Amino acid sequence: MLNKLQKYHLFNFFVATFSIILWFMRNFLYFLFVLAFSYCTPKGPQTFSSPFIGKTKAELILSKGSPTQIKIYDKSEVYIYKTKEEYYGKKQPISKNGEVVRPKKVYIIEFIYYINSEEIIYKYQVWKKKQKVK
């Protein structure tokens, strides 16, 4: 038979063990959420609405100029406009000595317009690719 002091210590042992298990479960759930959020984001182009959807190819070229790249598929053309975006943080792009500072991050952004056989834009996507800083 257990006396009162032994029962008290046994009870405290189970309470401490249970609270540690709950702490690990809660932190494991946070870890899974962060992991899923960071790795389950789309890696390819994302579709958006654009004011050019429903307009003609000529209006697109008149507004944005000639595309960087043109791809032709079965019955549609794809016009791709590429831009380069550099992020310097709080630093200025040119130092006090007149030297060019390396950016912290560089992104290549592709604006993709899908044009059908009637020369009407029917889909617009944006693809933001991270480029390694050299």
Secondary structure of 60-82 as H, E, C letters: HHHHHCCCCEEEECCCCEEEEEE
Q: DSSP code of 109?
A: E
pTM of the model as a whole: 0.63
Question: Rounded mean pLDDT of 79-102?
Answer: 82
19 and 61 belong to one structural domain:
no
Q: What confidence category does residue 44 fall into, taking pLDDT thresholds of 50, 70 and 90?
A: low
82 shares a domain with 117: yes
Query: Which has more confidence, 44 or 109?
Result: 109
6 and 37: one domain?
yes
Coil vs helix vs strand at 58: helix
Residue-wise pLDDT for 10-30, tens only, equals: 888 888 888 888 888 888 878
Do both 64 and 36 map to the same domain? Answer: no
Please tell me the predicted confidence (pLDDT) of residue 104.
85
Per-residue model confidence as pLDDT tens digits over 57-70: 999 999 999 999 99
Dihedrals phi, psi of 83, to nearest 5 degrees: -135, 155
Q: Note down the domain range covering 36.
A: 1-41
In this prediction, residue 71 carries a pLDDT of 94
19, 62: one domain: no
Domain count along the chain: 2
DSSP string over 80-101: EEEEEEEE-TTS-SB-TTSPBP
